[in-house]
Amino acid sequence: MTERLSSTRAGIALGPLAQIPDGTARNYVLKIGEAYFHGFIVRQDNNAFGYVDACPHAGLPLAQELDHYLTSTGDLIMCSWHGALFKIQDGACIGGPCAGAKLTPWPVIVRAGELYTA
């Protein structure tokens, strides 16, 4: 079985922020050596919020369908397996089976319109 990483080093270029439409999220899978990192980024205006793609409740990826991390209103992150709801800005679970827990942050930054790991 391939190792699944829970973090990345700083400085990895992820592409332009514009590839994520405002108010949506995008999945990222990075191969690092022989292992893989699974994360996602939510864009709000010119801000990017990155998280490891693993629900604190069961460890599963949050989205059952590629890039579908947000509620229909786009104001919360949702685990499509068990319905847990998380704040976009800090990953805090505000409802569902892991209330009080948090998503694991994946530090990312935006520089001159480009996304990088931080």
In the chain, the domains with their CATH numbers are 4-117 (2.102.10.10)
pTM here is 0.96
Name the residue among 60, 71, 3 with its Cα closest to residue 32: 3
pLDDT at 33 over 90: yes
Closest among 43, 42, 44 to 52, alpha carbons compared: 42
Please give the share of the chain, as a percent, with pLDDT higher than 70. 99
Say what the pLDDT of residue 1 is: 67
38-52 as b/e, with b when 16 or more CB fall inside 10 Å?
A: bbbbbbeeeebbbbb
DSSP class of 17: G
3-state secondary structure of 19: helix
